[in-house]
Amino acid sequence: MTEERKNLIEVRNLKKYFEVGRGQVLKAVDGVSFSIKEGETLGLVGESGCGKSTTGRTIVRLYDATDGEVIFDGMNVHSLNRQELKRYTRKAQMIFQDPYASLNPRMTVTDIIGEGIDIHGLYKGKERQKRIYELLELVGLSREHANRFPHEFSGGQRQRIGVARALAIEPKFIVCDEPISALDVSIQAQVVNLLQDLQEEFGLTYLFIAHDLSMVKHISDRIAVMYLGVL
């Protein structure tokens, strides 16, 4: 008998509202609830502007929730103090939609991938550089790429750098926020296959946000459909 996997993430009645002037409120996420088991991929689909990305960003605390709870490994993400939040951000990472806008153009690949390693004090000196080389090779790049800048890469290569950055601090959970929508169709499948291989190797849990149903079907264990802020 296979062992029942436990929920890694439980989202309970999550709300994220934005004030948009003159006393008006945009209800971007309006009472969303779902759970994701360890090692599972939940696909989150819906048209542009339905609140998918805002849901993902609120889960990883890039936004504070207006209401509701995000329970990760038994702790409420939106009531953590600074120290606890730092520990949480080590466990939960994000891969962004635009692989150019999400990489600092003034930083080399080594600095981009090494930033999280430095913040969390994981590796130093030669060990740090060795880890960065390992990560580059893991995502299908080479150590020769380490001292280059983002503008020297194609879109697909930049997204691989984004994946390496997310993996650098050894997270358990990754929000993939439309990670393939800015890429050529020929490259999309490569990036999705890479994400699947990494999931298998490291036991990762994904929230995979997209509007391409065929890709979501390919990578997801379950699919949630979002419309106007609700599931």
Both tokens of 8, joined, read 């890694």
- pLDDT at position 108 is 93
Tell me if 141 is assigned to some domain: yes
Both tokens of 208, joined, read 């995979």
Tell me if 145 is assigned to some domain: yes
- pLDDT at position 22 is 85
- pLDDT at position 2 is 53
Tell me if 2 is assigned to some domain: no
**Number of domains the chain contains:** 1
**Which residues, 6+ apart, have CB-to-CB distance to 69 below 8 Å?**
10, 11, 12, 13, 14, 76, 77, 78
Tell me if 133 is assigned to some domain: yes
On whether the CB atoms of residues 198 and 138 are closer than 8 A, the answer is yes
Query: pLDDT (tens digit, 9 = 90+) per residue, 138-181?
Result: 999 998 999 999 899 988 899 999 999 999 999 999 999 998 88
pTM of the model: 0.92
Query: pLDDT (tens digit, 9 = 90+) per residue, 116-148?
Result: 898 888 888 899 999 999 999 999 999 899 999
On whether the CB atoms of residues 165 and 109 are closer than 8 A, the answer is no
Domain that includes residue 36, residue range: 7-225
- pLDDT at position 97 is 85
Tell me if 205 is assigned to some domain: yes
**Which residues, 6+ apart, have CB-to-CB distance to 207 below 8 Å?**
9, 36, 41, 42, 44, 56, 59, 173, 174, 175, 176
Tell me if 1 is assigned to some domain: no
Tell me if 60 is assigned to some domain: yes
Tell me if 101 is assigned to some domain: yes
CATH number at residue 75: 3.40.50.300
